[in-house]
Structure 1
């Protein structure tokens, strides 16, 4: 069984060994990770990005490398020899570490529980760090990439 990931079209790549996740019933899910923008890569600098999933049905945190755990089962991520050229041409990183899981069995199984009337348009998102990953079932998200030096 293969897992099909569709990279989200974000202008950064997740480059972190730490994922900070917060879930509240009223506030949804907030994730904080380190990212590199196109500007940061040549300088080997990082900045923080905060993901907010306001309508979140489920949060799963796993302390394993996703791509090692599912080696040989992941499809959908474009492979390119010149990542920077792809990034500059398309405005997003081809393998950003943030994906939507296509035809998610987890979402199919739980959709009737979380959204029986299909009003929320739930999606299955994956945020992959180095040694851990987070899965969120949510309607949508907002991302704020902090400026360098900003707290």
Structure 2
């Protein structure tokens, strides 16, 4: 046991030190998405990443989208792309998407709408069933992207 501990101690002391990044954080408010439904920013840029807050199926004018779950998912994704465009990023720069559905029976229909937007680029993704979402909507989409170089 002592031999193993000594090897681990030598390895850990020989590892390079972590780099300290400057605290460059910028909040984004977009006209290409509905007004925030709470006290948060549409997105936050930090150290080359863009963190997009969850988007619900409302138009930039603040009107709810009616129709199928596919129509609602398409609006959520359109809002995400609009925010990314205002954040020096784009759809192609998305590295992770988180999807929240109030009914997993909508998973297939959501995927159909999602595939129309992400036809070739396939970021990492999670889809989680939740009991409720803000303003009684059925779907919410958030994303993490990198800034354009």
TM exceeding 0.5: no
Q: Structure 1 or 2: larger helix share?
A: 2
Greater relative CO, 1 or 2 (CA 8 Å, sep 6+): 1
TM-score normalized with structure 1 length: 0.27
| Greater Rg by CA | 2
TM-score normalized with structure 2 length: 0.27
Q: Structure 1 or 2: larger strand share?
A: 1
